[in-house]
Chains A and B, each alone.
Chain A
Amino acid sequence: MESALLYDRLQFAFTATFHYLFPQLTMGLALLLLYLRSRALWSGDKQYLQVALFWTKIFAVSFAFGVVTGIPLEFQFGTNWARFSNFAGGVIGQTLAMEGLFAFFLESTFLGVLLFGEKRFGLRVQWWASLMLFLGSWLSGYFILATNAWMQHPVAYTVADDGHLSLNSLSGLLTNPWLFWQYAHTMTAAVVTSSCVMAAIGTFYVLSGNHLAHARTFIQTGVVAGAIACILMIFPTGHGNVKQVFEHQPLKGAAFEGLFQTERGAGIVLIGQPNTETMTIDNPLVVPTALSVLIYYDLWAKVKGLDAFPKQDWPENLPLLYYAYHIMAGLGTVLAAVMTLALVWLWRGRLFTSKPVLWLLMLCAPFPYIATTAGWMTTELGRQPWLVYGLLRTSEGTSPLVHSGNALFTLLGFLGLYLLLGLVFIILVMEIVRQGPGPVPVTDDPTQTTGPTLY
């Protein structure tokens, strides 16, 4: 069974990580699309409408991939984590079912309106559809993060006679104090991803001399929204998250900061390799006392290190957790710097002629994806060895009768299928980018597609 646990974990980690590449773009884009549609509606500017239509196509592809990779996650709670589902289903079944009912119907219905209804509905109805799409995708994020927040910080439950949990307050579950900062941080990060992608595709067009008018709108929207979101991502949302980790999960905090020993005036390690043999950081580059100041606003505050906790409760993979956190924080800082720079250049009217800054913006496009993935790894690896923090260990959550041969079979299948999915996604997006925004040449022969089709 030992190896079945490993395959179960790898499969969930892989499928969830892969899945989240898509919603982080669509959730952010939903907000930007609403903005573009509002401009189109109120100014009557055709260009904003064309830009919105272009990004609706990208949204649709990313959304479809998000849906097909999302269904396996819901199924896996049952297939691979049956004892966890049995244990916690009385609580988290609420948020998962609500997500489907309130968010998925909303999203899929109104995306259909935006994609297939351009001729059938007026601009005003399309604006409403865009608002509903935004509401649906942000609600979806809310319910799923409420589920995750509960696993990080269980609230609103009672233990029944058979040892399983049942809910005792729905409002308690939906207003889990953990959820506030987590939701704010995650959604801000989604806006960062979509802004970076929008700006990057704009810079691609400007640098290659195509679709210049539309590309400027891409860049302006992306840079302004991206700069605001990058700042909000670091402060207050990122800061709020770290503070709440140190308050409720001090062990996780010590592990991702690489703080092996309890210290007064603890520093922040910028770079260095954790050495789990000697319990030190090799080649450290440290900002002294910074951690104490950030968490407790006090130069000499005591911060608990790993040594303050029993070893069986430590996260299993300390180095990976440490690196995940540092990659997230590092890339977040780089992104904030680049976006601020671009904003200043935009402000001074120099951005569209400054090739180095445009190149920089374009090359930054993968960073939010990496940073977000690393952020989720920090949250989830740091929760180990618990599945539900303090209540259920990960090793006690698996399906009792699914043996390692079956788990490996499906893991390999997902690896192969998702490799294909990833390639296909890139091809589809490249096709939309190649075709570009603006009016599409119409052909009379319906067998000749000029653009990407949705069926």
Chain B
Amino acid sequence: MRRKPSFHPHNDHEAIVMAPLATVTRRDYMLWAFLLGIMSLGLIAFVRQFILGLGVTGMNRPIYWGVYITNFVFFIGLAHSGTFISAILRIAGQEWRKPLTRAAEAITLFSLPFGVASIIVDMGRPDRMLNIIRYGRFQSPLLWDFTAVSLYLFSSVVFFYLSLLPDIALCRDRLTNKPPWQRRMYQILALGWQGRPQQYHRLEKVLDGMAIFMSMLVVTVHTVVSWVFGMTIQPGWHSALIGPFFLIGAIFSGTAAVVIVLAILRRVYNLAEALPINLFNSLRKLLIVFTLGWLYMMVAEFLTIFYGNIPEEMEVFWQKFTGDFSLIFWAMTIFVFVIPLYLMVFHGKDNISVMVTSSVLVNIGMWLERYVVIIPTETRPRLLYELVQGAYTPTLTEWTITLSLFAGLILLYSVFSRFFPIVPLWETAESFEPDPSAEPDRSTRIFGAWSNK
């Protein structure tokens, strides 16, 4: 079937952005093999845990939730990067966001599956997972979670795919020297995209509409994640602030992750021209605001607890400030707040390595934050805090599985970026004048009822 050439808007950076798609290098294969290796180790650890029982972890009574739940919260938080940048900033009309939307959304898309995986890994009976659908009770915060996260995953896929569509068509039309399976993949995924003005018009409209929906999801999803903790009456968790606190943290770590990913993409794929340094400067401003927002939340949360001085709350409070978790707690404060704020404010402008350093620290710190929100509460349960001095040391199984989940995220990301343009070419195009010679080819339309009125 001969196809008439589709219209693609002109983009000066097309050659640079498409360059990474030209070849999969030896180094890529080595990286992928390495990541797959780590993932297989994780799989072995999981199968062993499934056969023997969750006893192979460090969890116990009363620390029923450990690193796995921490990972769950962290991955869902990381996922807020893309939706925040491409949905909220889209509504806010922030045009500077355009080159990094896809890189950010890809983090969303590839983090979510590992958030879900974290939950499955944590279940005592993953084989009974479908009970959640068969016997689901909507009174349970876990079912809210299940609903919110699956809706988020589904919407992110649609949102991501739609904005990718014109660029898949570009791959279909430009990458004609690729192996047949790859050409066929582009052909199918492009859904017969022709680049007609009506199509672009519709696409923009749908993306605008979805952006509103996605922005609401960003707020909802992470609040609901926090409610798994907040809805119990355990000291340290049962706080109305836990939802907003989790949300700020999620957007914070997500945005920091975007900085890291952008810097890597720029370096590895030579995208310096397509991803200019002013992106880092814009992200820097956002991150400074989030750092301060994080401090605000910390003060609001802990000053209220400290001043109120309720005995069981204070048990958990002192666990964090001076007790078993003080090292992690203060390390978190330094990583999330002290160092990044100083670095970003005084040295971050036009300095990518400083921004990356801060962002790595922020993400390590945010993981620690999740840990320090979840575990200390469990070590000082309400009734037994005088008696049960709960302690928790994660085991090798937990670390291996954790590592394999992160390896999976990197693997998906790195494979994706070798097959699809990581900078949205149509959104960053300079000239959007449609070519009048490109008549739509009716035979390739998927939805035949489209009219040209």
Real complex partners, A and B? no
